[in-house]
Structure 1
């Protein structure tokens, strides 16, 4: 999954996810591009502490990941083999005091836009000349697929907030929920480095069995793999 998600903005997403207890429930389709890589599309389904991720690519071969934040485990479904495996989720090492850049800034720009029919406001994080633009809406609740329910958050230093996380938590304090509909990262020259674009949103109640192995799938184990995000 490192191919799909940049660690640099995953820390921001983790901070957004913990800003409120109101979580989005429904289905989301995201398109992600990074550098010269072709666009990657990932379909998400989220419900409370549960996140289901389905990369829409030939390489994924239909493999699906289900994250359970409450149990701190991930289930990988392999439809071709009608099998599944369960792995523990383990965050990365916590950030040491004083690490990270002290120059990280997060601010609300005042710019607004409608994306997929939702009112969005632009927020920007800047660090050493590079910027990350986020277009956020408060009309959907928090999207846990890119934060608290996603083990990728561990890439940014486990549970201790780094400077960028602390900046976002302060800026978004008191909000009912935030959902990133567009994220754009630029280098110091303003050239786009990566982009996340929400293609489709379907809010609504989801069945519990969507976040469990289908009937007839056999469980298998790979002891040498260890926990995801270790």
Structure 2
């Protein structure tokens, strides 16, 4: 069974909050290496794996499915690589960030994450339970302060204050290890970290392979 569509907004919101924000990791706490995520939905019988690589201010995500898509993030752009089709697309990171920032800035403070005193160990990392009210239901996030930090996102065009809850996250060093969506009373394991490897990564991982054709974006910036 595929990931339920009505859970996607909450999942994408959480992923974008942590992963996109982590492009601006504090150098003294920056994690370098590979993290493997398992993303599942429905009854959990169907799942996908995502390999997440981070080095300095660059991120590479590999989706282990039939498409085999690779996405590379850096401070200036986002590149979607479809090597099997011999092509890639590139667009400014600001385009993606502006929509997210507007949603964050307009978020109801009542939906801000609440930090609990519950703790548990995930893959050797001590995690704290945070809860978050989304339109899809209660979201439970287990986060650790042992895998790097990030600063809050701001609109590249300026303006708008950073929500207090986002600043609270940024003041620490947090990384999501598990996210669970409570969907109409049923807990759906949206994603979980299944492997963490601290290692030196080759910079070539974060560049577009030679020989690929750059395709025009199917949309234009407003």
TM-score by length of 2: 0.74
Q: C-alpha separation between the residues in 1 aligned to 2:150 and 2:170?
A: 16
Residue 99 of structure 1: how far off its partner (Å): 4.1
Q: Does 1:220 find its partner at 2:214?
A: yes
The number of aligned residues is 207
Query: What is the 5 A alignment of 1:21-170?
Result: 21=26, 22-35=29-42, 38-58=46-66, 60=67, 62-68=68-74, 70-71=75-76, 73-89=77-93, 90-91=95-96, 92-93=98-99, 95=102, 99-126=106-133, 130-142=137-149, 166-170=164-168
Greater per-residue helix proportion = 2
Q: Confirm or deny: 8 A CA contact 2:139 2:182 kept in the other structure.
A: yes
Q: Confirm or deny: 8 A CA contact 2:83 2:212 kept in the other structure.
A: no
Tell me what 1:198 maps to: 193
Q: C-alpha separation between the residues in 1 aligned to 2:30 and 2:219?
A: 31
Higher RCO (CA-CA < 8 Å; seq separation 6+): 1
Q: C-alpha separation between the residues in 1 aligned to 2:134 and 2:62?
A: 32
Gaps of 5+ in 1: none
- The two structures, once aligned, show a CA RMSD in angstroms of 3.7
Gaps of 5+ in 2: none
Q: Does 1:210 find its partner at 2:205?
A: yes
Cα distance change on mapping 1:96 and 1:47 into 2, 3 Å: closer
Q: C-alpha separation between the residues in 2 aligned to 1:223 and 1:14?
A: 21
